[in-house]
């Protein structure tokens, strides 16, 4: 069987009635190409001097890995010259990255988490790259882009996706018409469709959470997990399984394939941080993918994609995946606000 390439898929999307704009198609092709370059660096590991910390901290207060910085650079370089972007923002940069004056300025804003799950890099476990695309406000062509231009709700995303660097390198993408998966064919050097549209299977009793934070969670969160842990004789009347990879990309990818729920809830460790995960680089793009695959994404009380952001590096509690499981957890929060 002849598989469809990413390019063919995007051309088809461009020919639809609600056509994918040419600039957005170029943007996705370029991000996908940068993900190939990141995949090569990730695969080199120690042989390419890719492992370990770089000795600096990012704006999140995390020790930066060499690959965090390398992947960030790859995405910046790849996306500067194409004329499709007005500016970029990243987990690894304190503020936004403007397009240099020597290149034309485009209509879109690109946000990314260059390496998600970067603590996995040095131990040869799965990592990923997450991206989110917003439309820049109409008037940016005549003025400098600002951080405020990025502070748009997730519902305004026009595309989002991730690359996952696991046993296989895959690209999972949505332009608002369902979720499609592409595998990297290294002999051809191209992304080839392997599945889609993806729908999250329902009813899988499997949760993903870092259990070591249990004592910090809010009561509704503790109740939800306690019910799952109680097994057949408890409130849920069923045994649950648990998985936690330390990489949101890997956990969400598993949920897209076999169902379940992903949780990184608000906790009481640091009152200044409502959750660990970043709204703009993690929760919104992954929420977009999950919703496009028939799931839901909430922060405890609100749909994540409807949150009006107030800062580029804003953090948020996250519950996403199987609609019924997220709804149950939300009902616990509603009963005990
Ligand atoms: P990043 O590597 O981009 O900073 O993101 C790591 C995130 C996410 O991918 C993962 O689900 C979570 O942090 C893991 O956190 P814990 O180490 O607290 O389990
Ligand atoms: Mn990080
Ligand atoms: Mn991340
Ligand atoms: Mn990261």
Query: Which positions ≥6 away from 101 have C-beta within 8 Å?
Result: none
State which H helix or E strand residue 328 sits in.
helix 323-335
Crossing angle between the packed helical segments 323-335 and 219-229, to the nearest 10 degrees:
130
Domain, as residue range, for 146 = 6-197
The protein residue whose alpha carbon is closest to atom 2 in ligand 1 is 117
Q: List, chain by chain if needed, residues with CB within 6 Å of any ligand 1 atom.
A: 62, 91, 113, 116-118, 210, 246-248, 264, 276
ipTM over 0.85 threshold: yes
Q: Starting at the edge strand that comes first in sequence, how are the strands of the sheet with 261-264 ordered?
A: 241-242, 206-208, 261-264, 318-321, 296-298
Residue 285 makes CB contacts below 8 A (sequence gap 6+) with 111, 130, 131, 132, 154, 157, 160, 161, 162
Q: Which residues neighbour 211 within 8 Å (Cβ) at sequence distance 6 or greater?
A: 225, 242, 244
- Same domain assignment for residues 85 and 185: yes
Cβ contacts of 187 within 8 Å, gap of 6 or more: none
Same domain, 15 and 156: yes
Residues 36 and 113 in one domain: yes
> If you measure from the C-alpha of residue 4 to the centroid of ligand 3, how many angstroms do you get, rounded to a whole number?
29
Residues 184 and 217 in one domain: no
1 is a domain residue: no
Q: Judge whether 128 and 165 are in contact, CB under 8 Å.
A: yes
Residue 72 lies in a domain: yes
Whichever domain contains 231, its CATH number is 3.40.190.80
- Which of 210, 250, 313, 315 is the pocket-test mutation for ligand 1 (most atoms within 8 Å of CB)? 210
The number of residues in the chain equals 337
Q: How far apart, in whole angstroms, are the C-alpha atoms of residue 276 and residue 265?
A: 8
Is 244 within a domain? yes
pTM here is: 0.98
- Does the annotation flag 210 for ligand binding? yes
CATH of residue 115's domain is 3.30.540.10
189 and 252 share a domain? Answer: no
Do 56 and 178 belong together in one domain? yes
Cα separation of 116 and 81, whole Å?
Answer: 25
Atom 12 of ligand 1, nearest CA residue? 246
> Would you put residue 237 in left (φ > 0), alpha (ψ -120 to 50) or beta?
left
Residues 125, 216 within the same domain: no
pLDDT in tens, the chain (337 residues): 578 999 999 999 999 988 999 999 999 999 999 999 999 999 999 999 999 999 999 999 999 999 999 999 999 999 999 999 999 999 999 999 999 999 999 999 999 999 999 999 999 999 999 999 999 999 998 899 999 999 999 999 999 999 999 999 999 999 999 999 999 999 999 999 999 999 999 999 999 999 999 999 999 999 999 999 999 999 999 999 999 999 999 999 999 999 999 999 999 998 888 899 999 999 999 999 999 999 999 998 999 999 999 999 999 999 999 999 999 999 999 998 7
Which of the listed residues 282, 283, 290, 319 should we mutate to test ligand 1's pocket, taking the one with most ligand atoms within 8 A of CB?
Answer: 282
Secondary structure (3-state) at 154: helix
Give the Cα separation of 126 and 104 in Å (integer).
36
45 domain residue, yes or no: yes
Number of domains in the chain: 2
Residue nearest ligand 1's atom 6 by CA:
117
Residue 154 sits in the same domain as residue 213: no
**What's the rounded Cα separation, in Å, for the pair 247 and 126?**
7
Q: Known binder of ligand: residue 30?
A: no
**What 8-state DSSP symbol labels residue 216?**
G
Whether residues 173 and 287 fall in one domain? no
Q: Is 65 annotated among the ligand-binding residues? A: no
Among 197, 216, 251, the domain-final residue is 197
Q: Whose CA is nearest to atom 14 of ligand 1?
A: 246
């Amino acid at each position: 069987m002849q598989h469809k390439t990413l390019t063919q898929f995007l051309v088809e999307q461009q020919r639809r009635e609600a056509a994918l704009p040419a600039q957005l198609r170029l943007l996705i092709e370029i991000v996908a190409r940068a993900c190939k370059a990141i995949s090569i660096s990730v695969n080199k590991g120690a042989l390419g001097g890719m492992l370990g910390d770089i000795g600096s901290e990012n704006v999140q207060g995390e020790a930066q890995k060499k690959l965090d910085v390398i992947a960030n650079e790859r995405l910046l370089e790849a996306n500067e010259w194409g004329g499709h972007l007005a500016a970029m923002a990243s987990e690894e940069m304190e503020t936004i990255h403007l397009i240099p004056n020597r290149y034309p300025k485009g209509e879109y804003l690109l946000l990314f988490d260059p390496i998600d799950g970067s603590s996995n890099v040095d131990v040869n476990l799965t990592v990923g790259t997450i991206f989110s695309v917003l439309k820049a406000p109409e008037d940016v062509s005549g003025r400098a882009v600002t951080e405020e231009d990025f502070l748009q709700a997730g519902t305004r995303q026009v595309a989002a996706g991730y690359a996952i660097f696991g046993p296989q390198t895959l690209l999972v993408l949505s332009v608002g018409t369902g979720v499609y998966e592409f595998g990297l064919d290294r002999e051809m050097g191209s992304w080839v469709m392997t599945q889609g549209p993806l729908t999250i299977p329902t009813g899988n009793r499997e949760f993903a959470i870092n259990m070591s934070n249990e004592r910090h969670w809010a009561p509704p969160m503790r109740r939800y997990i306690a019910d799952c842990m109680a097994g057949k004789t408890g409130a849920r009347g069923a045994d649950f399984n648990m998985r936690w990879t330390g990489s949101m990309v890997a956990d969400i990818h598993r949920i897209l394939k076999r169902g379940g729920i992903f949780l990184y809830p608000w906790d009481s460790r640091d009152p200044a941080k409502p959750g660990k995960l970043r709204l703009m680089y993690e929760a919104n793009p992954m929420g977009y993918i999950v919703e496009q695959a028939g799931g839901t994404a909430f922060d405890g009380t609100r749909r994540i994609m409807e949150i009006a952001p107030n800062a580029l590096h804003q953090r948020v509690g996250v519950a996403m995946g199987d609609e019924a499981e997220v709804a149950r957890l939300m009902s616990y929060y509603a009963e005990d606000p």
